[in-house]
Structure 1
């Protein structure tokens, strides 16, 4: 397939915890995946912020970002994202200013306004977070001001951030964030890998309302997809049973460790075909290389995005790395 523009491709890592896999091994796996992705031409390796979920170990997002940046050489390391209502803008600026100095030209700051957890846990993180949710656009401005190099006369400064170049991205799963990204002239990242319902509406708003800024002259869009790729469709379908059961846990509130894959059976097929799950997994691509390429090409044609960011919830690390290798081959073919 010949594209008018080259489509970048990136990794969204949640440091998913599988049954019988300790956190130390999970973090080792994340490093191995980042190094592999770097060699395969992936542009970014982003880590998501989630809390109080046994199956996700990326809760201390900036700590893990620093660890992985230290173990890689060129791939961009970022947050996909920092859930801003959980944090003070000053602390975010200090953390990312530090990261930007430690790893110059390699750090991305993705900011979202969802809690990344349930409401009880969100309250435990920051009791006044709902005030912060409504102030999301203003807190973005606040962080940007901390990075300015002309803050010497202000009483509160993030001196480690001043003058450091760390690109900012607005994350969202609804149309609200599209207005914010467009108004501020920032890149926009949509969570279509788990909340696809408003993807097209949000992208239309973003492109229509985009205002050029000192950070970005033209709109730049990224969308998330789930990919489970294997040598055959049957093998990929089996590997996808782990992710399928994890998604059921998310929907029902019965969160558990990522389970080992099993043969796809009638019961699991019935679960997979549930309308709620179908909506959620609209952009979960499962199959061999040919199937993944066909679905990815269709997605890119429909959305017109500049970049795709890929999540892959596969139990076995070797199978997960194989899946990302297949997807990199697909993207190189699409971009050829």
Structure 2
């Protein structure tokens, strides 16, 4: 079991809570990142999503710049940029610019999914499906734009050439595992919501991994939901906001993040719903002692090199406290 020196990071959606403005949401994202830096987190990633009232990270690269400007050592990046939504040239230019402004701190995580519904995906890019099928080739293009050798090409991302921006392949299925292994890139699995294929995908990635100039050995980042509080009861209360969020996703009734309420038998019943239960399989809720035991089991299962935590809590102070306690858990393993 890889418990020593396991890195720990944050995946954020810039969640918009009920009765909060977008400006407050973005300020809170920066506030969280500043605390994360103090707590010893390795990276702070923002995920691209669209057409969701409770998610503020749709203009992902702009928010990355905002957070990077207000921090000094934290790696800031995308978890991820949904590449079929974009021109590889434009993404290379955006992240090349970010990496020149904040050297050795910008990560580029790339995913294949739209990060939205089908109709919105079509509005973003009419040939989305074609671009999604060409994802491996689109990743190749980005790598080419970042290479110094591209200086002789007719089409160039001049602000990206030779700029150091590590690329990560994100995935929620086994397809991405094959690709990350073939390209010799680090692999981040979205096990905070896509739980079914986690262990199979990690096995494929490790077995098929081909060393590259970017990476000599496989590197796995695994996502988990964490809600840590000073007691199990308080953590359960805070988790009611997450349960409501998941119900909204499954029923197509997305809404702002709702304030927490007492944990009731109705909420406990929802947690036993097969879909919700499966989606929240790698969700660790409780006091430090409770979550530490759960995380230890997860690390033993996955042997992940890095844990990236998603904490969907209504109030920013409760979120910061949860991430503080989680950082203490991870430090105790080292």
CA distance in 1: counterparts of 2:331 and 2:255, whole angstroms:
35
- 1:334 Cα offset (Å): 1.1
8 A Cα contact 2:84 2:135, kept in partner: yes
1:75 matches 2:74: yes
Distance 2:309 2:4 in 1: 19
Q: CA deviation at 1:272?
A: 1.3
**How do 1:233-244 residues align onto structure 2 when only pairs under 5 Å count?**
233-244=232-243
TM-score, normalisation: structure 1: 0.98
Are 1:226 and 1:312, in contact at CA under 8 Å, matched by a contact in 2? yes
Give the secondary-structure state (helix, strand or coil) at the position aligned to 1:248.
helix
Q: Give the equivalent residue in structure 1 for 2:88.
A: 89
Q: How many residues align?
A: 334
Q: Would you say 1:284 and 2:286 are equivalent positions?
A: no
Q: Secondary structure at the match of 1:99?
A: helix
Match status 1:99 vs 2:98: yes
Q: Report how far residue 4 of structure 1 moved.
A: 6.1
Contact 1:3 1:334 (8 Å CA) reproduced: no
Counterpart CA distance in 1 for 2:178 and 2:151 is: 32
How far 1:266 sits from its partner (Å)?
1.4
SS in 2 for 1:68: helix
In 2, Cα distance between equivalents of 1:289 and 1:118: 37
Q: Assess if the C-alpha contact under 8 Å between 2:46 and 2:78 holds in 1.
A: yes
- Which residue in the other structure is 1:31 paired with? 30
Partner of 1:193: 192
Q: Normalization by structure 2: what TM-score?
A: 0.99
Q: Please give the alpha-carbon distance, in whole angstroms, between the structure 1 residues aligned to 2:3 and 2:189.
A: 22
Q: Superposed, which structure 2 residues align to 1:212-231 within 5 Å?
A: 212-231=211-230
Gaps of 5+ in 1: none
CA deviations 1:108-163 (Å, max 9, x no partner) are: 00000000000000000001011111110011111000011122321100000000
In structure 2, the gaps of 5 or more residues are none
Q: Deviations over 1:163-196 (max 9, x none)?
A: 0000000000000000000000000000000011
Runs of 4+ in structure 1 deviating by more than 4 angstroms, as ranges, are none
Contact 2:2 2:305 in 1 (8 A): no
1:289-314 residue CA offsets vs partner (Å, 9 max, x unmatched): 00010000000001001000000000
The corresponding residue for 2:317 is 318
Match of 2:132 in 1: 133
Following the alignment from structure 2 to structure 1, what is the Cα–Cα distance between the partners of residues 289 and 266? 27
Q: Do the aligned partners of 1:229 and 1:324 also contact (CA within 8 Å) in 2?
A: yes
Question: SS at 2:151's partner residue?
Answer: coil
